[in-house]
Structure formats: structure tokens, C-alpha cells
Structure 1
Amino acid sequence: MTTPVPGQPRRVSPRVYRRRRLVVFLGLIAVIVAVVLIIVRPGQAEPVPTPTATPIAMPTSTPVVTASATPTPTPTVDVSSYKECAVKNLVVEPITDSPDYPAGTLPNLSLSIQNTGKTACFYNVGTNAQQFTITSGAETYWVSTDCQTEKSETLAILEPGVVYPSAAIQWSRERSAPDTCNSERVPVPADGASYYLTTKVGEVSSKTSKQFLLY
């Protein structure tokens, strides 16, 4: 047995040296695990990405209908290069600006005419050719020509397939008759009464009527 020299470090046995290295290695692993646990935080739910809303396409502007967008018959004096429209090719429709009218509101009445033929033609669409008639049941309450004062002829070229609306006229909600033009007229029944508008342009009458209610 060797006696150690005083002041000289004692030599460690290989077994003790391996044990110390193992302790240091285990300590290093413990530190690494602790750092990982701090970062990962087990048990915490994985963050769910916030969905991004899909932009809704909005119109850049609200379309505005101008007067020029409404087709208008082309008045003409010289119609020698056109044929007169055949009655069978013309369709007339009655138009009201509302399906019902509160008390005190006057209905606006108009009509449309369409050339269903294949070629352009001319036709008299003037006020002297237009007629508006309002009925209820079997009774006729009002006819636009009863006391009409301004009448004019308008020869117009009607293009095929185009629907041409007329200017609107107001109905006073009163009965008409040729002998009441200069006298007071009687108001028609209201309170939900049902009326029907039919129209005519020259020899072409509307095949259907337009129903509306008066209150």
C-alpha cells in the first residue's frame, strides 16, 4: 500500500470518476428537460389560427337609370321607306305605377307598345290614338277619351322586339262621361274596391287588363 505524500491531491479511483460523470450527465439532462417543459408547456392546447374573413365583393356604385335608358319611339314625318305596322304584330299592355292606392293617392296610368315583327315599321302612337278605360265588374267608370282636349298624331318607327312605354297620365278617381266635362264628377267607390285598366292604341287593344285597388 502506497502512503500518500502530504499536500499531493489524492488520486480518484476509476469507479468514483465514472459515478461523478454520470451524475453530471444526469444533471445536464434534467436542465434540458426543464427548459423544454417551460417552452412547450404540456397540457396547453395548440393555438388555433384565427380564420381570415373572406372579403365580400361590394358594388362600386349603385346603377342609376337615366331617361335615355328608356326606349322612345322615333317620331318621323317621312315614313315612305317603311311599311305601316301590321296590327297582328303589335302588342299593347296596360301599366299602373302601383297595385294599390291609399286614400288621396291618384293612380298613374300608362301603356306600352311592342312590334313583334321581324322588321321596323311605323305606327301612329299619338294621343289621338291612345285610349285608357277603367272598369269594375260589368261597369265602366272612366274612359280617357270622354273629355280629352289635346289630341295629336305621332307617326313613330317601332323597332322589332323593343317595348316602348307611353307617358303617364293621372286618373282623378272620378267617374267620366262625355256630358260631365264641365260639371262636377262623382268619386268612384274606394275602401279596397278592385278596378281594371285596359288600353288601346289605334286598332290594337290590350289582350289583358291590369288590376289595382283603391282605398
Structure 2
Amino acid sequence: MAGSGTSGGRGQGSSVRRPSPAVYRRRRLVALVLAVLVVAAIVAAGFWVAGLVGSGREEASAEVAGAAAPSSPAASPAATTGCEDSDVVVRAETDAPAYGSGENPTLILEVANVGKSPCEVNVGTDAMEFLVTSGDDRIFSSTDCQVDAEPLMMTLEPGKSEKARFTWERNRTAPGCTSVEANPQPGTYVLITKLDKKSSKKTVFELR
């Protein structure tokens, strides 16, 4: 009886039930679903990281663009309104037609905007010249002994002008400021003013 019972117990222990095919299918389906979810999570994480990187790049690009465009003075009207070179005119005049002995003439350079748009012009001492001649004789130039010449940019509105005045002490000069002993004598003289490459028409005056 004991042997029979022992044999029967071993027989029951060795008989293991295997999962049915349906169980295997469910397990495979669950595994497949989990795999899909993991892949989807990885892809979503990738998009999220890419979005952060892209956003950081856009912000960095915006900062660089801002640094590359620093605030600057307004563009010169001459560059933005189509001011023509012919719109700027230089004129010459004196404060009197004639000067008695001991009177020093005031030479006047006038620069005018005769166009329809604002013009930016250099009216500095490095650009202007007062030139006095008598016939073919070069008598005086304000640039011969000039020192510390400087530029001065100015915007001239349409129809406006500016004047620069120079007191001529009735002396002669030579290029390089070399010494000249002779002084101008009574007679008729011609004034021409210049601003950069522009020259005025002749203005005649008299020294008595």
C-alpha cells in the first residue's frame, strides 16, 4: 500500500501542465505592446530634446542677431534721400566791395543745398579753402599755413545754406607756409572759395 502510494505521488508530480497556445499569444501581444510603448517613449523623448535644443538655438541666434545690429546714429539723409552731388553749391562773397587802407576784408564761403532732399556735407576746415588771386598771381590761400584742420559733417536741408567767414589780413602766402615778404598792393582782387572738390565762381573786390 505504501509503495503504491509513493508511485502514485511521483506520477502526479511529473505531470506538468503546459500553457495553452492562447496564453502564448496573449504574452506575445503584451510584449509587442510594451515594445511599441517603449519605442514611442524614446521617440517622444527625442522630439522633446530636439525641441529644447532648437529653442536654445533660436534664442542664441536672436541674441547674436541683436549683437550684430548695435544701435547706431540715424543714417545720413544724403544716403537715404537721394541727394545728388549737383545739389550742393559753393559760393564766394566778401562783406564789402572795396576796402580802404588798414581795413581787412572778410572773405565768405557759402555752401547751399539747392536740391529737394537733405544733404550731408563736410564743412570742416579740412575741406574748405579761401583763395585770393590777382590776374595770374596767386596771392593768398587759407590752406598754406593752416594747422589742426578738422572735418565737420553737417546736414543741410533743402533750400538752406551755411556760411564760413575768414578775415584776410592783406598778406601774401605760399604753399608750405614759406616766408613771403611782399604784401598785396592797392588794386583789384579775385576771391574763389572751395569745399572739397567744389569751387565757387569768382568774386571781385578792391583794396585801396
TM-score of the pair, normalised by structure 1: 0.58
| In 2: Cα distance, 1:141 partner to 1:176 partner | 7
1:212 to 202, 205, 208: 205
The unaligned stretches of length 5 or more in structure 1 are 1-76
| Bigger relative contact order (CA 8 A; separation at least 6) | 1
Inter-CA distance 139–80: structure 2 relative to 1 (3 Å threshold): same
Runs of 4+ in 1 over 3 A off after TM superposition: none
Q: Deviations over 1:31-76 (max 9, x none)?
A: xxxxxxxxxxxxxxxxxxxxxxxxxxxxxxxxxxxxxxxxxxxxxx
- Amino acid paired to 1:121: C
Q: 1:81 to 1:107 in 2, by over 3 A?
A: closer
Q: Does 1:197 align with 2:195?
A: no
In structure 2, C-alpha distance between the alignment counterparts of 1:162 and 1:130, rounded to whole Å:
18
1:186-211 Cα distance to aligned partner (Å, 9 max, x none): 21111xx00010001112111x2111
Query: Structure 2: any 5+ residue segments left out of the alignment?
Result: 1-71
CA distance in 2 between partners of 1:144 and 1:213 (Å): 19
> What is the Cα deviation at residue 119 of structure 1?
0.9
Change in 2 beyond 3 A, CA 1:186/1:119: same
Cα distance 1:180–1:146, how it changes in 2: closer, same or farther (>3 A)?
closer
- Work out the CA distance in 1 between the residues paired with 2:151 and 2:132: 23
| Cα distance change of structure 1 residues 79 and 146 upon mapping to structure 2, 3 Å threshold | farther
Paired residue for 2:134?
136
Post-superposition Cα deviations, 1:53-110, rounded to whole Å, max 9, x if no partner, equal xxxxxxxxxxxxxxxxxxxxxxxx9452422553211111112111001111111111
The one-letter code sitting in structure 1 at the alignment partner of 2:185 is: P
Cα deviation code 1:138-157 (max 9, x no counterpart): 11111110111131111100
Q: Quick one: distance in 2 between partners of 1:141 and 1:125? A: 24
2:80 is the counterpart of 1:82: no
Which of 74, 91, 94 is the aligned partner of 2:92? Answer: 94
CA contact (8 A) 2:172 2:180 kept: no
TM-score computed with the length of structure 2 as normaliser: 0.60
Amino acid at match of 1:98: A
**Structure 2: how far apart are the matches of 1:209 and 1:130?**
16
Paired with 2:144 and 2:93, the residues of 1 have a C-alpha distance of 20
Q: Does 1:157 align with 2:155?
A: yes
- Structure 2: distance between partners of 1:157 and 1:79: 12
What number of residue pairs does the alignment pair up?
Answer: 134
Query: CA 1:113/1:120 → structure 2, altered by over 3 Å: closer, same or farther?
Result: same
**Deviation at residue 124 of structure 1 after TM alignment:** 0.6
Match of 1:177 in 2: 174
Contact 2:99 2:105 survives alignment (8 Å):
yes
SS at match of 1:83: helix
Aligned counterparts of 1:179 and 1:81: Cα–Cα separation in 2:
35
